[in-house]
Amino acid sequence: MIPPDASPDGRSAVRAATAAPQARACEGKRPDGRARRLRADGKPSPPPVFIGGEIYRHSSYGTRHPLSIPRVSTAIDLCRAMGWLDGAVYCDGPMASAAELARFHDPAFIDAVWAAEAAQRVDPVTSARFNLGRIDNPIFPEMYRRPATSAGAALLAADRLAEGPGVVYSPASGTHHARRDRASGFCYFNAPVLGILRLLDHGFRRVLYVDIDAHHGDGVEEAFAGDGRVLTISVHEANRWPFTGTVEDRAGGTARNLPVPQGFNDTEMAYVMENAVLPLGRTFAPEVLVIQSGADALAEDPLSRLELSNHALWDAVRGLIPLAPRVLVVGGGGYNPWTVGRCWAGIWAILSGHDPCEAPTPEAEDVLRALTWHRAAGRNPPDHWFTTFADTPRPGPVRDAVRAVVEEVLR
């Protein structure tokens, strides 16, 4: 049986506005340009919190799976090596209980994942019913404990934000594809959904979810379709798995989708943010903002055909932060160990007031040089994967296809 525990219970019109230009990531400012964000009462908000965990360090989906690589542990190690992360702002995420997972997930599905981890096998009927033991959602030693810990981190983050304004970073909690009763797209339990549900259970009534992963945030959109308390916005590659999230898809009015073409560049990302995402967010006026910061839209990632530098993602996070007094930033996709580690470390730098363009310390460079990757690009990695966090910017023209998506999503 699954270990017991208890959890709490609890479920717009969007108009266009004018967005201010975004700051460059390398300015090294805190999200609002001040030493500390101020609460409504004029007092400074507490420093941002980083929720991690050691379970991710040696856990792998299998040697040939895209998630054979270390990601969360790399980001943690880089932040520590840079002097950006100390024990005062870091904590390990707890493992969510079965009852907490059941706030969203079918108990039979939770039981099946638990049993599959214990047996390290799954029968054909269970595999077909819950999408377990397939090429994307394999059987591996921590297949219950790892996603349950990612979910527990999201729940802890929601509880922290319920205590007052602030920022929480949980790079493991971006598992946005999981459904109520089945695994999907490398995701077993849906940490963003569970975190948002916990926020709603705390009494918040306007939660904005922005997803900048290369793949559509389908599981989160589906979970909150028709629930006016949650607006989901997803910027993702068009015509890529899971082949959902068309610009016409609005989930009963509670979703906005911006499918972008292959080759999507930094200039186009800034255009989408300034002319669609930020105006939509400001109009919704969220009490809490959740940002899913998957790093698979970067040019050197193998699972998309987008062409962003990490500056584009850093700028997006920087521009979004002022939308709400309470912010949860989670990770997501990202399948090149160097690009995802550098990107996620840079996001923490921005959240905590450091400069992500700072040169790596010798200790940080050692972390990067110790990484390995079975793909061809990992056999002879370019030097910049070791010697800098910041990519070379990838500007370009704003194509008609991008302008058309922005125009349509604002209708």
Phi, psi for 169 (deg, rounded to 5): -115, 120
More confident residue, 9 or 59: 59
Report residue 37's pLDDT band, with 50, 70 and 90 as the boundaries: low
Average pLDDT over residues 244-268: 97
Report residue 195's pLDDT band, with 50, 70 and 90 as the boundaries: very high
Average pLDDT over residues 323-328: 98
C-alpha span between 82 and 98 (Å, rounded): 37
DSSP string, 184-229: BTTBSS-HHHHHHHHHHHTT---EEEEE-SSS--HHHHHHTTT-TT
Q: Which of 58, 65, 176, 177 is catalytic?
A: 177
Q: What sign for the dihedral angle of Cα 292, 298, 302, 307? A: positive
Residue 34 has pLDDT above 50, yes or no: no
Residue 40 has pLDDT above 90, yes or no: no
Position 76, amino acid:
I
Give the position of tokens 């990107």: 343
C-alpha span between 372 and 135 (Å, rounded): 22
Please check whether residue 236 is in contact with residue 261, taking contact to mean a CB–CB distance below 8 angstroms.
no
C-alpha span between 167 and 261 (Å, rounded): 32
Report residue 43's pLDDT band, with 50, 70 and 90 as the boundaries: low
Residue 320 has pLDDT above 80, yes or no: yes
Please check whether residue 366 is in contact with residue 360, taking contact to mean a CB–CB distance below 8 angstroms.
no
Q: What sign for the dihedral angle of Cα 403, 406, 407, 409? A: positive
Q: What is the mean pLDDT of the chain?
A: 91
Report residue 42's pLDDT band, with 50, 70 and 90 as the boundaries: low
Report residue 44's pLDDT band, with 50, 70 and 90 as the boundaries: confident
DSSP annotation of 44 reads: B
pLDDT at position 411: 94
Average pLDDT over residues 172-178: 98
pTM: 0.91
pLDDT tens digits for range 50-88: 999 999 999 999 999 999 999 999 999 999 999 999 999
**Is-cis flag, bond preceding 47, omega within 30?**
no
CA distances from 116 to 67, 208, 388 (A): 19, 34, 41
Domains and CATH numbers, the chain: 25-409 (3.40.800.20)
First vs last C-alpha separation in the chain: 50
177 belongs to the catalytic site: yes
C-alpha span between 164 and 167 (Å, rounded): 10
C-alpha span between 134 and 136 (Å, rounded): 6
